[in-house]
Structure 1
């Protein structure tokens, strides 16, 4: 199972792309600005897009992706999300004012995109992989996702979240966990802001990791631009018992 980090930053700037993760070549977790670095041929292979929540940095390039390959789509691209997320996409993005509604184009009977509601703890089987949705705690309703292949190798993605129990309970129910991509958006000095915006800091993440029975490779995402070094140093100090990587756009991981 190949995991390609198209985007993982908490902001924009040279080399920074917002959240989007490509699983193998056909599944996207979120559709932030990292999608824009895909070649057209790569975009055409994407068949399933799992959205964690409705914030712009996680959905911004979904409209451009579908528009760019519109004429080459033979079967609808399947977009999954919580009811609140799907509702936000319909009302505020694909509403014929901000962007055309591709769930009705070229016509309602044969659209190029289809919306699918997914609930926490629900699993979707795609070829030889299973994608499980997990509730997390963010300022809007959000999900994390657990991807498991036929060999039992497992990659988990937290989405945006702060302290919670649901994510850790779901991860502890797994027989094993190889890799966990989890956010730490602010340094410890911004803990009050982290609580308000519902993002982890190194200290709050370290406390929650005590709930986890597995020892996965940690991929840290969503670091705010300009604060990356500070956050990284704090993470390595409080999580020195873990294999830990502060990832960047363009990284790839083979979960084998």
Structure 2
């Protein structure tokens, strides 16, 4: 298809996304579904032991899909302290952290290749086992291979790139809007591109039975994207799930408080911009009512070195003050487990 007709390409892609989601709804088994989410890292910078990383699994599953990997082993340690992974059973020759890291993580979704989303995976790769998939859009996987797994920045633990390719991880390209299964789990997933300043980030929609959960990598508002409208396309995908109460939750960023000028956001959201985007989702879903009570988890809050300023408390207050849709804003702490039935 000619690059001279970008609007046609966007229309075709959006139609494929909508048809794929409609087909998924029609074909999904009628089960209660639901998810468990474990927060391994929740911040968006500075604190290198607490960077964006989560584990999600379907109810009844043993193994998890990792959602980004900024801080992995430190987060597993904190989660164990909070009582997570109690159903894992005896660890045998491995430490409890080692058992979770090696045995319970079935694969990784990487939204984009910024260091605060991949650092934990890279550092711990030396002690991982198996041939786990890393799912992502082609630009993200190309960056992992070219800039990290290259025997200069780090050994090549991937299955492509400079020899020897050790193959500990299988770089698995996702086609936007196409569903794929996560081996070792009952989850399936579909990936969609996001605008994040100078690079493409992504959102993954995971499915368990007739239940869905949306995890957003870093993203800015459509109004500042130069006309890309990536979130608008995603709201069209999520709207039927919201109307059917099949979307059990979403995790999206609010990196900075509202007083940061737009010119300094660099492809991130504030509470005010997030509220505007949720309004767009409500419009796509047919009104405010379908969103009432929807769990909206907030991640990637940027810590500050400014004395007397608490961005997390400020963002939490601003979200609640502007919450005219009645969603349930939740700010997970590192190590916390959340149930989304």
The verdict on a shared fold, with TM-score over 0.5 as the criterion, is yes
Q: Secondary structure at the match of 1:137?
A: strand
Further displaced range: 116-125 or 91-100: 116-125
Structure 1 residues 110, 85: CA separation in 2 closer, same or farther (over 3 Å shift)?
A: closer
Unaligned residue ranges in structure 1 (runs of 5+)? none
Q: Is it true that 1:236 corresponds to 2:320 in the alignment?
A: yes
Superposed displacement of residue 37, structure 1: 3.0
Equivalence for 2:239: 172
1:128-154 Cα distance to aligned partner (Å, 9 max, x none): 21111122111211111111112x222
Q: Partners in 2 of 1:179 and 1:137 — Cα distance?
A: 21
Superposed displacement of residue 110, structure 1: 7.2
Q: Is it true that 1:211 corresponds to 2:270 in the alignment?
A: no
Structure 1 residues 29, 202: CA separation in 2 closer, same or farther (over 3 Å shift)?
A: same
Q: Partners in 2 of 1:148 and 1:200 — Cα distance?
A: 26
Equivalence for 1:222: 300
Report the aligned-residue RMSD. Answer: 2.1
Equivalence for 2:52: 19
Task: Name which of 332, 338, 341 aligns with 1:247.
Answer: 332
Structure 1 residues 12, 220: CA separation in 2 closer, same or farther (over 3 Å shift)?
A: same
Judge conservation of contact 1:158–1:167 (CA < 8 Å) in 2.
no
Q: Partners in 1 of 2:255 and 2:166 — Cα distance?
A: 40
Judge conservation of contact 1:20–1:35 (CA < 8 Å) in 2.
no
Task: Name which of 145, 158, 164 aligns with 1:103.
Answer: 158
Superposed displacement of residue 35, structure 1: 4.0
Larger radius of gyration: 2
Judge conservation of contact 1:94–1:100 (CA < 8 Å) in 2.
yes
Superposed displacement of residue 167, structure 1: 2.3
Structure 1 residues 155, 104: CA separation in 2 closer, same or farther (over 3 Å shift)?
A: closer
The 5-angstrom pairing of residues 68-79 of structure 1 reads: 68-69=127-128, 73=129, 75-79=130-134
Q: Partners in 1 of 2:259 and 2:166 — Cα distance?
A: 52
Superposed displacement of residue 108, structure 1: 6.3
Q: Is it true that 1:53 corresponds to 2:108 in the alignment?
A: no
Judge conservation of contact 1:8–1:222 (CA < 8 Å) in 2.
yes
Structure 1 residues 246, 87: CA separation in 2 closer, same or farther (over 3 Å shift)?
A: same
Structure 1 residues 37, 197: CA separation in 2 closer, same or farther (over 3 Å shift)?
A: same
Superposed displacement of residue 26, structure 1: 2.7
Q: Is it true that 1:201 corresponds to 2:270 in the alignment?
A: yes
Q: Is it true that 1:118 corresponds to 2:150 in the alignment?
A: no
TM-score when normalising by structure 2 = 0.68
Larger proportion of helix:
2
Q: Partners in 1 of 2:102 and 2:312 — Cα distance?
A: 33
Judge conservation of contact 1:121–1:135 (CA < 8 Å) in 2.
no
TM-score when normalising by structure 1 = 0.89
Q: Secondary structure at the match of 2:69?
A: coil
Equivalence for 2:89: none
Q: Partners in 1 of 2:249 and 2:46 — Cα distance?
A: 25
Equivalence for 1:159: 217
Aligned length: 248
Superposed displacement of residue 173, structure 1: 3.7
Unaligned residue ranges in structure 2 (runs of 5+)? 1-34, 58-62, 77-96, 222-230, 304-309
